[in-house]
Structure 1
Amino acid sequence: MTTAKYTVQLDPSKPKAPTRDDADFPESIPEAKDTKTHPSKAGDENASIYFIGTATTVIEWEGIRILTDPNFLHAGDHVHLGPGVQGTRRTNPAIDLHELPHVDLILLSHYHADHFDQKVEQSLRRDLPIITTPHAKECLTEKKSEEERFTQVYDLDHFESAILDIKQKKKNEEDHFDSAVLNDKDKTTASEEGAGNNGKKEEKNSTPSIQITGMPGKHVPPGPLSIANDILSAVPPTNGWMLEFGHTSSSPQSSTFSSGYRIYISGDTLLVPELSTITEKYRDQNIDLMLLHLGGTTIPSPSVPLLMVTMDAKQGVKLMQLIKPDVTIPIHYDDYDVFLSPLEDFRKEVEKEGLGGKVVYLDRAEEYRFRVGGVGEGVSEN
């Protein structure tokens, strides 16, 4: 059985508005301004990433939409980033919050206003599933009044995993299930529950699944500043993520997840030693795509840049060299005045290191399409 802290069951046949005002919502994301694919191996794409701005993207596969780090503030809006620290947005998002189609899950790297802004927090429906850090879960549940509490928040620490089981409509099937969570310590997955047939052994059933694993990340460099931040809680703890798109094969005796495509999302981290543990864990497994948070975010202000808390261009390229993804897409750049390392610096550093063929650049409202391998296509098992 795949080891996971949670199994979250998602049913794309029952779309809901992402906001709690239950407003009408479109069936799909607006058409992308441009579509990009793998620089040398394009063809038969069956999944996509749509870039909204900052670290906000929509990832789609098998009818499921994952919204990352939702930030829908507009140019001129302000965000609170810590005691005495404020940022001003310079750009507009590609679409507004109420222009989103149905969303099945939010993936939140950390509880910071430039990743989960006040408008988003007020507007989202409270039963929308959210996978995030233990700290963010506490902020979204325990620290809120009962009526404002988010009710489906699943916390993952570093190297803890959750499985998203995607409901597939069977022939003549009439009944569906809503989003729900099972604790793997106590319960079997839905596919395992239906695997038995009067005690007889059946062939394994394969269902589309996404495994999400928390990855290390640090917003504050090691040393005295990190110790002080632990005490003051000025900058929240953060996660990166590994998203593995594939299939779960289940029988009454076992459950095995096979990955057909991996996306590493760096999250708001600096280039810290802990990131080397990612290469150790995935030593013999290909990382197909990296979504790289850049910006060189500095605090307390652009005019007094005392501390950098996200990677700049040089650190971003070094992370590419460490992780060695097949393709890298930079995000989290040029959107706020506290981002002092522009995308152009990253472009120059990439070319300097001879990595231009490994990077795809997306502007806001553009998409990247990719292919998730199916069962029997040489996918790797976990």
Structure 2
Amino acid sequence: MAQLDLNPSARIPLMKIQTHHLEAGPKLPVTKSHTHPRKQKADGEVPENGSVYFIGNATTVIEWHDIRILTDPNFLHAGDHVHLGPGVTAERLKDPIVDMHQLPPLDCILLSHYHEDHFDRKVEESLNRAFPIVTTPHAKKALTSKEDPFQAVYDLDFFQGLVMSAPPASGSRGWKRPAIKVTGMPGKHVPPGPLSTLNDLLGAVPPTNGWVLELGYISEGQMESVGYRIYISGDTLFVDELKEIPKWLRNEKIDLMLVHLGGTTIPGPHTPLFMVTMDGKQGVQLMRLMDPDVTVPIHFDDYSVMLSGLDDFRKEVEAAGFGDRVVYLDRGDEYRFSVRE
């Protein structure tokens, strides 16, 4: 299994031009903190020591101990456009809550697939080429074959894993070090059938990963314990391949699911021929399949090609009786959680 050693005291700058001292970087401006919707903290229980901060679209910052992960960086503003395939463009409708230069020091980027609404041209131009990126085999090929190639790209196929660990001094318990194991999960961005076959030939829509993040402790290169699991769906439809994930988990519980919604429709809102991300109904289907303790919806209304907004998901959630299992984050909100000892 691949391993990525992290050292917060010697972090690689995220951007080519660093505008602030690396360890004196800004803190994320939190509008509101959310905690578990059903639990009251008991005496002696581990305090909330991890968080997910919602920036916009599929862009979040996941933090535990000194490990900070940025997901699917997209920092274009309202009115900007992205290219999503042959003849397909989309307009951004909402601003991200912060810009790239306002981020705190980070350890790596988790990139679900190589699409401009997840890794935009502003990010590509300004990102430090030595900054670590964990992504798909397709995206690695694209990022490392450029004239100015990215130099620290780690690719994971479905059910392949990589362990990111902090140095011993950072939250260590004896010989153990805090770590996050990232495993690639199945996803399918194009509906099964003739369209999928055609896309395989043309390569118009890139392959995508979901992820499972296991937060725990590592010893001698192996995960010794897992205290929290996060499943990130990535840009996928509700397809049969997702049923392999509960089998892989072997009855282990998903504590938090970040589900990409939006009912993204290609080629666009005026000619909606087919859907390439889950709508509200499929999002609830995924909740039933994965049975997460808590679900946070993301990727639902940032672009003009998204035709199924958060209200669609809310209606499906309430109809299913899942209202107390979902936390809704506005941009700038965070969800705080406890990693079990």
Structure 1 equivalent of residue 16 of structure 2:
20
Is the partner of 1:317 in helix, strand or coil?
A: helix
Bigger Rg, which one = 1
Is residue 206 from structure 1 mapped to residue 161 from structure 2 by the alignment? no
Q: In structure 2, how many angstroms separate the alpha carbons of the residues matched to 1:28 and 1:45?
A: 21
Q: Could you tell me which of 220, 228, 232 is aligned with 2:202? A: 232
The structural deviation recorded for 1:29 is 2.9
Q: Which residue number in structure 2 is paired with residue 169 of structure 1?
A: 169
- Are 1:29 and 2:27 matched, yes or no? yes
Instruction: State the Cα RMSD in Å.
Output: 1.6
Q: What SS does the aligned partner of 1:13 have?
A: helix
CA distance in 2, matches of 1:231, 1:354: 42
State the alpha-carbon separation in 1 of the partners of residues 126 and 25 from structure 2: 19
Secondary structure of the residue aligned to 2:8 is coil
Render the CA deviation track for 1:111-148: whole Å, top value 9, x for unaligned: 00000000000001011100000000001002x01xx1
Cα deviations by residue, 1:310-349 (Å, 9 ceiling, x for unpaired) = 0000000000000000000000011101000010010011
Match of 1:91 among 88, 94, 105: 94
| In the alignment, structure 1 residue 282 sits paired with structure 2 residue 249 | yes
- Distance in 1, Cα, partners of 2:283 & 2:289: 10
Letter aligned with residue 13 of structure 1: S
Q: Does the residue aligned with 1:31 lie in a helix, a strand or coil? A: coil
Asked if structure 2 preserves the Cα contact closer than 8 Å seen for 1:50 and 1:365, the reply is yes
Asked if 2 retains the 8 angstrom alpha-carbon contact of 1:265 and 1:292, the reply is yes
1:11 paired residue among 7, 10, 33: 7
Q: Does the CA-based 8 Å contact 1:78-1:87 persist in structure 2?
A: yes
1:30 Cα deviation after fit: 2.6
Matches within 5 A, 1:236-255: 236-250=206-220, 255=222
For the Cα contact (< 8 Å) 1:17–1:23, is it kept in 2? no
Contact residue 247 and residue 257 of structure 1 kept, 8 A: yes
Counterpart of 1:348 (choices 311, 315, 328) is 315
Equivalent in 235, 258, 269 of residue 225 of structure 2: 258
Cross-structure match for 1:216 = 186
Residue 69 (structure 1) aligned to one of 60, 69, 72:
72
Q: Which of 235, 245, 263 is matched with 1:296 structurally?
A: 263
Aligned to 2:44: none
Change (3 A) 1:50 1:323: same
Aligned pair count reads: 333
| Conservation of the 8 A alpha-carbon contact between 2:26 and 2:102 | no
Letter in 1 for 2:29: E
What is the CA-CA distance between 1:271 and the residue it aligns to?
A: 0.3
Please report how far the alpha carbon of residue 97 of structure 1 lies from its aligned counterpart in structure 2 after TM superposition: 1.0
1:137 aligns with 2:140: yes
Paired amino acid for 1:61: W
Shift of 1:15: 3.5
Q: 2:36 maps to what in 1?
A: 38
Q: 3-state DSSP class of the match of 2:9?
A: coil
Matched, 1:323 2:323: no
**TM-score for both structures, normalised by structure 1:** 0.85
**2:300 aligned counterpart, secondary structure:** coil
Tell me: CA distance 1:42–1:11, structure 2 relative to 1, closer, same or farther (3 Å).
Answer: farther
- The SS at the match of 1:237 is coil
Offset of 1:247 from its aligned partner? 0.4
Contact conserved, 2:12 with 2:131, CA < 8 A, in 1?
A: no
- Measure, in 2, the Cα distance between the counterparts of 1:86 and 1:32: 32
Secondary structure class of the residue paired with 2:179: strand
> What is the alpha-carbon distance in structure 1 between the residues aligned to residue 222 and residue 96 of structure 2?
40
Quote the Cα distance in structure 2 between the aligned partners of 1:13 and 1:219. 38
Displacement after TM superposition at 1:42 (Å): 4.9
**Aligned residues with identical type, % of pairs:** 59
Structure 1 residue runs of 5 or longer lacking an equivalent are: 171-190, 192-202, 375-382
Which of the residues 107, 114, 128 maps onto 1:104? 107
TM-score, normalisation: structure 2: 0.95
Which one of 105, 121, 130 corresponds to residue 118 of structure 1?
121
Question: 1:128 is matched with which residue: 109, 128, 131?
Answer: 131
User: How far does residue 23 in structure 1 lie from its aligned partner after superposition?
Assistant: 1.9
